[in-house]
Structure 1
Amino acid sequence: MEGDIAQMGQFIGAGLASVGMGGAAIGVGNVVGNFLSGALRNPSAAAGQTATMFIGIAFAEALGIFSFLVALLLMFAV
């Protein structure tokens, strides 16, 4: 009985950690949406800002990957 409760806690924790992956998706959408909004206002400056957009996407995705890693650790760690 105790093992079942511990396993249930692991799965609940992994599910809560997975919420961070949704947050990363929202963050990437926000970064790209704001870039496109600025690029449509000033197309001549858009070419110089694409590297900054990709850096922002990479940071947002890194948080999602860390969240995924924590979820896996909670599920399969002993």
Structure 2
Amino acid sequence: MTDLHLFAIVSTVVAALAIALGVFFPALAMGRAISSALDALARQPEAEKEISRTLFIGLAMIESLAIYCLVVALIILFRNPLLEYLLK
């Protein structure tokens, strides 16, 4: 196995771990946010608009973390900046 093959395998494993952790933790945060919002709605139904608006903004922020992890993983897989140092 050459250094290039080993580098490709390690890069793929790191990208897979980045996606796995980058989706798992935001998913937990989204579940907790939705649970808290439903609890708040059950306690104060008259504040539905404010709670819903804040919930959707928070969910968008949490989802952006997962998207950032996806972008970093795609960079690692398809345009790895460390690959040019290995080829020299």
TM-score by length of 2: 0.81
CA separation in 1, counterparts of 2:72 and 2:5?
Answer: 21
Alignment of 1:1-78 (within 5 A): 1-18=2-19, 19-78=21-80
Structure 2 unmatched ranges of 5 or more: 81-88
Moved more, 63-72 or 22-31: 22-31
Q: Which runs of 5+ in 1 are unaligned?
A: none
> How many residues are matched?
78
Q: Structure 1 runs of 4+ off > 3 angstroms? A: none
Normalising by the residue count of structure 1, what TM-score does the alignment of the two structures yield? 0.90
RMSD: 1.1
Return the offset for 1:29: 1.2
Alignment-mate amino acid for residue 32 of structure 1: I
Give the fraction of aligned pairs with identical amino acids, expressed as a percent.
28
CA displacement, residues 18-75 of structure 1 (integer Å, 9 cap, x when unaligned): 1111211111111111100110111111222211111100000000000111111111
Once residues 40 and 66 of structure 1 are traced to their aligned partners in structure 2, the CA distance between those partners, rounded to angstroms, is 33
Q: Tell which structure's C-alpha radius of gyration is larger.
A: 2
